[in-house]
Amino acid sequence: QQCSKIQSFFFANSLIKRVWIWSKDQLGHQKDIVGRHSLSLSELAMIGGLAGVFSATAICPAETIKCRAQAHLSVNGAKPLHPIKIAKELVRNEGLRGLFRGLPAQYARDIPFNFVFFGSYEATCSSLCNFYGYHSKDQLGAGELLVAGGFAGVAGWTFTIPMDVVKSRAQTTGLCSRKVMLQILHESGFKGFFKGWSAAVLRAFPANGALFAAYEISERCLGT
């Protein structure tokens, strides 16, 4: 599930970036010294945020089914329900919109997550290039890319973990995001919004570092 979510982030980001560059080409924007359109840090962050709209919509049904399955196991022990059965029950009881339960919270998580995730990655890469005197991110090695990706993962999850907590509970309980936030505040206070933060951050640094390094090196090998 986590893998498919990250894949959707990268796919949407790559697609929107290509469309963005194409639009700049059509508008006659000036290219850099190697004949490419360079994107500013703010543009790269905005592209990441836009990617969050499409990726959140695409993965919301799967996220809802996952949360319902986990809630079922916590109540009934080792009696897992098949995802298709959960999906059918949701549609029967709530219609198709039942599969998109928690979508507002998903938008509130994934749009800023992508903005911070890709923005902080590019900012770290830019800082590393300035430190080493490089002219392009393409000159960074696997180690530097791993560090930049790791910081991006930590920054993204730190910024958006509260909405992830809200989204998961909304999809599990069927309550609206506002009611869930009030419920969390009442039960656990402000710290309740950061439940699972330490585990998320410990996982995020190596996982996202390796992901970005592999993605960038693959792009270089493919010449894209």
> Considering all CA atoms of the chain, what is the largest pairwise distance in Å, rounded to the nearest integer?
63
Tell me the pTM.
0.76
User: What are 41-92's pLDDT values in tens digits?
Assistant: 888 889 988 888 888 888 889 888 888 887 777 665 557 778 888 889 889 9
102-117: burial string, b at 16+ Cβ within 10 Å, e else: bbbbbbbbbbbbbbbb
Find the helix or strand (DSSP H, E) in which 165 lies. Answer: helix 142-173
The CA radius of gyration of the chain, in Å to the nearest whole number, is 20
pLDDT along the chain (224 residues), means of 10: 65 84 75 58 88 87 84 67 87 88 84 91 93 90 94 92 86 83 91 90 91 88 73
Tokens of 170: 């909304």
